[in-house]
Structure 1
Amino acid sequence: MQIALTKKLADAEGIKAPFAREDENPLFSWTANWTKVWDNRRSEDMIVLVNNATRFTVAIYQVKRKDLKNVAEMMRTAISNTLLYMNFNPELVGEYMRLAGAVGFVQNRSRQTAAWVTKAGLECAFYVGNEYNGIAKMFSDTVGVSANYRPVNYSGNVNESFIPYQAMINALSELTGKQAYKYRAFELLVTLDLEVYVAVRRIIVPADIEFARFHKVLQSVFDWQNCHLYDFTIFEGNKRIPVARIIPFEEGLEYDKDAFLMKGHTLSEFLPEHKHMLYTYDMGDNWEHEIRLMRVIEDHDKESPFLLEASGQTPPEDVGGVGGFVNFREIRLNPSHPEYGEMKEWAKYWTMELSDWKRRPRVIHD
């Protein structure tokens, strides 16, 4: 595997790399840069790699100067982890990493690939800035995932644009002769009872999806804004006997010492042994989403998370729970109501019905 280093990264590593080999397969070639996410940091804190054939992005955050001594292995691991995070067939990923071989560093002399990795670095920095506060100590080598869902190569002829992850999965399937996706998945029915109707979302998710990512999927399909606290509660059978409560932040343990911190925990730890759970979002409005396991798909061969079905509009944020929503909805259904104009202005772009796009089956890019 040939990795071309920018001058900044080569200088930081203190190595004088040879020139790149012109005959190297671009699918086994990457360009890497060391960049900064936070302006108030003295040193760089993220390594970004872009594949020269597909423009697939891999990013590692937080990387300190002392970590650079192990950067070759760190890069290989990050490439593998990012592909696996996106549910690429583990056999396909393993074969690609075997064929790519050990990391060999070279000098980057291409202005084009330098521009690619700079652009990818900006996109990854925006993602990190939105996801993390920049204060807490954390490490992630999959923060480049979101960049792979955006089209590239569209500055000239728009017909030549493509999506990096699609280009990567196609290239790896052709290279290895293995199917693109192969993993265990769950089909889930998620319902939100709003008294006047039930909002329903039927989705497929990887069995090994972490709760933190599952939360993002639910936020997306229910069109929430991710601005309130939440938790998950697992139940024993149909008896509604709580088995476990899963929370996102350590501070929550002060109020419930028996709760689990969700970091590192996956759905497969509880499903299919337990088939029901509750996702509660916004402890004030108390939106309780019932989650039921419909089926286990042992060898799922398609991309996910995936929305199969959607019906019923979600209430606007901070409407006051189910009771507040019922009252709000009655006002919005009556243009002659004295509070109609005020409620319409407050809800801004909220609509009474789901749009055609929100009902359409689609891949959920978290």
Structure 2
Amino acid sequence: MTNLSPVTNLRCTKKLLDRLKLPAKQSKPGTPTASTAKLGDWYATYLPLRPKHLVLAISQRARLAVLFPAAPLQTLPARFLEAVRHRLEALCISSEAIEQELAAMGEVQILPTGADRCRATMGTMTQFLQVIDYSQERQEHPEEIALYLGRYLVGITGQRDYFRPNNVARELLDPATVLEESRYALQLCVTIQESDPPIWRRLLVPASLSLHQLHHVIQSAFSWKGCHLHEFTIGEDDAALTYGIRYQFALDLDGGPDRSDQTLSLFRALPEVGSQLRYVYDLGDYWCHEVVLEECVESEVKWPRCLAGERCGPPEDCGGIGSYQEILAALAGGSSPVSQRELFEWLEWAGPSFDPTAFDLAVTNRGLSYD
């Protein structure tokens, strides 16, 4: 019996084949007609975007998307494999599972989409292209866009089932890690630093949540509106790494976070009880939240829950914790540099129902259930 060589079919649209300026290779004798790796065949197209032209490739089995620079087109097969590696690393898939998948991918064969193309995958590509157009307007980095596409709900033609490509890829390639993360829930205490009295929330969240998902949980728990940039920091001093949304314009200026906050799960970000990280919302007002892991419990929690808390979250755009503390002092009739006129204008803006001591656990959990 002949051993078949590992191969990956990269099925390219006519637009991409025309750019490659070479006829699509036919399958070689002795190679399988289908890809040998777990993610199956890949479908690719050419995107003439600015500032860089890109290639979008989507795996047939998981609908996982990778985005990488089109040039130089002569080295596209090798760079495609490297883009897949980076994409799987961003999903926190174990290095062993990544190496196994890349070995199973073997040689990349350039093929046309053909009459036997997977129409469902091509339909997903059309959906993704619309999302990419919108993300380009926001100047998001290609890596950030690909990670977002992985969280996009994808449907199966003729069925009511929907799935997220990131989840399917992790289940296909690294089921042991997925199972381990799904067994645990993390109890976190989140406190706005320098708030006096403390403004805090105790949260119970699935360990599998990414930092990006935790961002949305904190936003809801403190009634923030998500109007500004945010950033997570793990580690101290020279060893510190920042995570957030990566925008192309910021990276071009050597700014922005080190990594996307979609690439790290809480299970890895907070490895033991007592571990902590810093979450900053609004890089101007600089609302700094301390996030501490209080307990790791075996529990199949599906949705975040707030267990306790005190005081309402500060209003948006009130100048940061220092200005907010001065406003609270003025409201209490104490010494404060805030004038009566400024206080009146602030109360008019914050609303007559503003109460800095208010906290409603039921309302907070209703908000979390919708996120």
Residues in 2 aligned to 1:198 and 1:269: alpha-carbon distance in whole angstroms: 23
Please report the RMSD computed on the Cα atoms of aligned residues, expressed in angstroms: 5.1
Name the residue aligned to 1:222: 218
Q: Is the 8 A contact 2:60 2:118 kept in 1?
A: no
Counterpart of 1:319 in 2: which secondary structure?
A: coil
Name the residue aligned to 1:12: 19
What does 1:278-357 correspond to in 2, within 5 Å? Answer: 278-282=278-282, 285-292=285-292, 311-312=308-309, 314-321=313-320, 322-323=324-325, 326=328, 343-344=350-351, 353=360, 354-357=363-366
Residues in 2 aligned to 1:23 and 1:328: alpha-carbon distance in whole angstroms: 74
Q: Is the 8 A contact 1:33 1:49 kept in 2?
A: yes
TM-aligned CA distance change 1:3 to 1:291, over 3 Å: same
Name the residue aligned to 1:95: 100
Q: Is the 8 A contact 1:6 1:114 kept in 2?
A: no
Name the residue aligned to 1:120: 128
Report the residue type matching 2:199 in the other structure.
V
Report the residue type matching 1:91 in the other structure.
E
Residues in 1 aligned to 2:59 and 2:80: alpha-carbon distance in whole angstroms: 12
Residues in 2 aligned to 1:181 and 1:142: alpha-carbon distance in whole angstroms: 26
Q: Is the 8 A contact 1:311 1:359 kept in 2?
A: no
Report the residue type matching 2:190 in the other structure.
V
Counterpart of 2:154 in 1: which secondary structure?
A: coil
Q: Is the 8 A contact 1:328 1:343 kept in 2?
A: no
Residue by residue, what CA displacement relative to the aligned partner does 1:273-315 show, whole Å, maximum 9, x if unpaired?
x966655444653423224465899xx9x999x9675654533
Identity %: 16
From 151, 154, 164, the equivalent of 2:153 is 151
TM-score (normalizing by structure 1): 0.62
Residues in 1 aligned to 2:164 and 2:76: alpha-carbon distance in whole angstroms: 27
Structure 2: give runs of 5+ residues left out of the alignment. Answer: 1-7, 245-254, 333-343
Q: Is the 8 A contact 1:5 1:106 kept in 2?
A: yes
Residues in 1 aligned to 2:231 and 2:177: alpha-carbon distance in whole angstroms: 37
Residues in 2 aligned to 1:146 and 1:2: alpha-carbon distance in whole angstroms: 25
Name the residue aligned to 2:336: none
Name the residue aligned to 2:162: 161
Residues in 2 aligned to 1:144 and 1:150: alpha-carbon distance in whole angstroms: 10
TM-aligned CA distance change 1:89 to 1:80, over 3 Å: same
Q: Is the 8 A contact 2:70 2:76 kept in 1?
A: no
Report the residue type matching 2:228 in the other structure.
C
Larger Rg: 2
Structure 1: give runs of 5+ residues left out of the alignment. Answer: 133-137, 236-241, 250-259, 331-336
Name the residue aligned to 2:337: none
Q: Is the 8 A contact 1:192 1:289 kept in 2?
A: yes
Q: Does 1:35 align with 2:16?
A: no
Report the residue type matching 1:290 in the other structure.
E
Name the residue aligned to 1:195: 196
Aligned residues: 309
TM-score (normalizing by structure 2): 0.61
Report the residue type matching 1:220 in the other structure.
H
Report the residue type matching 1:356 in the other structure.
N
Name the residue aligned to 2:247: none
Residues in 2 aligned to 1:151 and 1:271: alpha-carbon distance in whole angstroms: 29
Name the residue aligned to 1:77: 82
Residues in 2 aligned to 1:326 and 1:164: alpha-carbon distance in whole angstroms: 46
Report the residue type matching 1:343 in the other structure.
A
Residues in 2 aligned to 1:341 and 1:160: alpha-carbon distance in whole angstroms: 48
Name the residue aligned to 2:341: none
Shift of 1:167: 2.8
